[in-house]
Every structure is written in structure tokens, then in C-alpha cells.
Amino acid sequence: MQPASRQPVGSRARGLSTSSFEIVGREDFSDLTYTLEVRHPLMARAARPGQFVIVMSHPEGERIPLTLADFDADAGTITLVIQAVGKSTRELQRDAQVGTTLYGIAGPLGVPSSIHPLRTVVCVGGGLGVAPVFPQARAFHENGTRVIAVLGFRSADLVFWEEKFRDVCDDLILCTDDGSAGIQGRVTDGLTLALDSYDDVDEVVAIGPPVMMGACAEVTRPRGVRTSVSLNPIMVDGTGMCGGCRVRLKDGIRFACVDGPDFDAHQVDFEDLMNRLGSYRGDETQAVQAWEQSCHRAETAASEVLVTTLPTDDGRA
């Protein structure tokens, strides 16, 4: 089902792009979080932990960056875990059903994480960051490193991939804000616990909202433990062409899409990152409002005339 606004705005060029990226699996973890499994054999082979893709769900859409949360070269698929936070991610939540295709997906992008064999590594994932930290945890596990996962969720009902992590981790510390699962506290509490329990931690990998990554950096800084974070600035092309994704490090500016997205947490200016992430807030609100109105129109229209070819999803707004 296409929202009404999308149809006529055409250029002849639309037919030129390769747009057969089929969604072959989907799972909804909660009202907000869902995973998509997309068929892309070449990418499944090329993907490495720490890399991401740029997705365009339709020709009038935004190019949105999403971390490669998993990839399976044998099955020829890649997995994205997405949180519906704004127009593009909510629209994708509604439209991206098994059997449909994405208009564009480019990747794998960014420099792969460096995964050397270490004694012990702590992989911290908070909210949005739980899925993206998985490939790194698995890669460390596969090269013989002891892996401690620290995963943070708001409450027990939002927990996902716990088993998947247990398979590749030697220890798992679950943290929830309300204590409904694991320890009650934030991932920084879990991280402190991990660092106190294991005295041979060579590296911490922290992925999640900028505030959380900044807080983790402050936990490890006094202990002198190397810490890597995966930054998520606003992006456009993802190929190093626009500079929109620039982040400030102690020694200068880098473009997260081609120089990152992994950086040394102790070098990153998180305040700058958070300021820049807010730059489109007004537009984002406008986009959501316009979208909600058009959904309304489209839904009314659909109920009147259209026969929808997609399975309906009762959980959606």
C-alpha cells in the first residue's frame, strides 16, 4: 500500500536504479523495535562487524543509515534492527513486510571494526545499540576472546536477542531501568560491575545513544581501558560526499561514514555530536505530522477503494 503522496512525483530516472532488495524475514520485538532480514547475497558476503548500510524505502524517501546487526553469507541475507523513532523508520515499520522490496540499500559502508584476539572484551549495548554490538561480540568470540556482554533495556518486555548473545558470550549482564530483568540500573552500572569482576579487560565496545556512549567513556577513562564507540551522526549519502556526518575528535574532524563509524571513545566530543543530532528536529516533527495526515488519508482511501496486497499489521498505528 502506497501513501497517496508518493505516486506521481516521477522522474524518468526512477526506473534506472536497482531496486530488487527483497525482505525475506521480519520480527517485531515490541511496538517500537523490529528486525528486517533482507536478501542481498553480495552484501551478506562482504559485510563485517561495525559496518552499516543506507536504506531508501521508496524513491521519495530519505537515505537512512542502519547498522548491519547480522549477516549470513550462506543464507545470502543481512539483518537490520530498527527502532521506529521518526517518519522514515515508522513508515518502514508499516510498509516493510515480508515479500515487499526496498527501493535502495547501499553498503556495507564504513570501516569494519578492528577485531584482534584479546584476553577479555566487554561489549556494551544500550537500547538501539544492543543489536549493532552483536556482530562484534560474535567476531571476538570466534577469535577466542572472552566476551562479556552488558545489555541495557528499559524493562523486561523490551528485551530481545538474549539467547543469541548468550551463545557467543562468556558472561551476560542484563540491566533494566526498573529491575524487571537482570540488575536494576543503567549499562554504566553493568559496565562498572564487569570491569570490577574481570581484571583482564583489554577493550570495551559501547554502542547506543550518544549520552550512553559518552557515559561509558567516562567509566573507562579513569581506568585507562581502551574503548571504542560507534557514532551515529545524521548522514545523507554515506559515501564521504556531503560532510553532514562529520564528528569532532580531539585532533580534528572526521567523516563518520568513511572514516568511522567506530572511533576511540576517549577522543570523541560527545557534546558536539548531540548538538548536531538535534539540527533537524523541527523538520522531523513536520515530516511526522505530514506523514500521519497522509496515512490517515491513505487509510481512509484504502478502506474505501483499495484492496491491499500486504498482510495487515494490527500492531501499527
Partner 1 sequence: MPAKRTIRTIPQERTPVREQDPAERARNFTEVSLGYNETEAIREAQRCLDCADPVCIAGCPVSIDIPGFIRKVNEGDYRGAYDTIAASNLLPAVCGRVCPQENQCEGVCTVADTLEPVAIGRLERFIGDLAITQNWARPPHITPTDHRVAIVGSGPAGMACAADLAKAGCDVTVFEALHLPGGVLRYGIPDFRLPNAVIDAEIANLQQLGVTFITNTVVGRLFTIEDMVTELGFDAVFIGTGAGYPTMLGIPGDSLNGVLSANELLTRANLMHARDFPTYDTPIPLGRHVAVVGAGNTAMDAMRMCLRLGAENVHCIYRRSRDEAPARVEEVHHAEQEGVQFHWLTNPVAILDDGRGGVRGMRCVQMELGEADDSGRRRPAPVPGSEFEFACDQVVFAIGTNANPIIGQTSRLSLNRRGYLEVDQDLATSIAGVYAGGDIVTGAATVIEAMGAGRRAAAAITRYLAIRDPGRRYREGGEPVFGMPAAERNFAPLRLATVPADPLPGDEATGTTERTSAP
Ligand X SMILES: Cc1cc2nc3c(=O)[nH]c(=O)nc-3n(C[C@H](O)[C@H](O)[C@H](O)COP(=O)(O)OP(=O)(O)OC[C@H]3O[C@@H](n4cnc5c(N)ncnc54)[C@H](O)[C@@H]3O)c2cc1C
20 contacts partner 1 (rule: CB under 8 A)? yes
Grid coordinates given for 81: 534492527
Grid coordinates given for 104: 535502495
Minimum distance from CB of 285 to partner 1 (Å)?
10
Q: How far apart (Å, rounded) are the C-alpha atoms in residues 204 and 299? A: 47
Grid coordinates given for 224: 585507562
Per-position x/- string for 18-57, each x denoting binding to ligand X as judged by CB under 6 A, each - no binding: ----------------------------------x-----
260 contacts ligand FES (rule: CB under 6 A)? no
Q: Which does 42 bind (CB under 5 to 8 A by kind): ligand X, ligand FES, partner 1, none?
A: partner 1
Minimum distance from CB of 38 to partner 1 (Å)?
10
61 contacts partner 1 (rule: CB under 8 A)? yes
Angle at 146 between CA 141 and CA 147, to 5 degrees: 70
Per CB under 6 A, the list member of 29, 34, 161, 255 interacting with ligand FES is: 255
Q: What is the DSSP string of 250-316?
A: TTEEEEHHHH-SEEEGGGB-HHHHHHHHTTTHHHHHHHHHHHHHHHHHHHHHHHHT----SPP-TT-
259 contacts ligand FES (rule: CB under 6 A)? no
Toward ligand X, which CB reaches closer, 146 or 210?
210
232 contacts partner 1 (rule: CB under 8 A)? no
Find the binding residues for partner 1 in span 29-58 (CB under 8 A): 39-43, 45-46, 51, 56
Cα distances from 120 to residues 149, 208, 215, in angstroms, run 11, 21, 21
Minimum distance from CB of 187 to ligand X (Å)?
17
Q: How far apart (Å, rounded) are the C-alpha atoms in residues 288 and 282? A: 10
Minimum distance from CB of 237 to partner 1 (Å)?
6
290 contacts partner 1 (rule: CB under 8 A)? yes
Cα distances from 284 to residues 4, 64, 67, 175, in angstroms, run 20, 13, 21, 31
Grid coordinates given for 109: 559502508
Toward ligand X, which CB reaches closer, 120 or 136?
136
Toward ligand FES, which CB reaches closer, 245 or 295?
245
Pick left, alpha or beta for residue 80 (phi over 0 → left; psi -120 to 50 → alpha; otherwise beta).
beta
Toward ligand X, which CB reaches closer, 95 or 194?
95
Which residues, including other chains, have CB under 8 Å from residue 260's CB and lie 6 or more apart? 110, 111, 230, 231, 247, 254
Q: How far apart (Å, rounded) are the C-alpha atoms in residues 317 and 306? A: 19
Minimum distance from CB of 275 to partner 1 (Å)?
4
Per CB under 8 A, the list member of 21, 34, 71, 263 interacting with partner 1 is: 21
* Contact positions vs ligand X (CB under 6 A): 52, 62, 64-67, 69, 81-83, 85-89, 128, 131-132, 232-235, 239, 261, 277-278, 284, 287
* Contact positions vs ligand FES (CB under 6 A): 235-238, 240-245, 255, 257
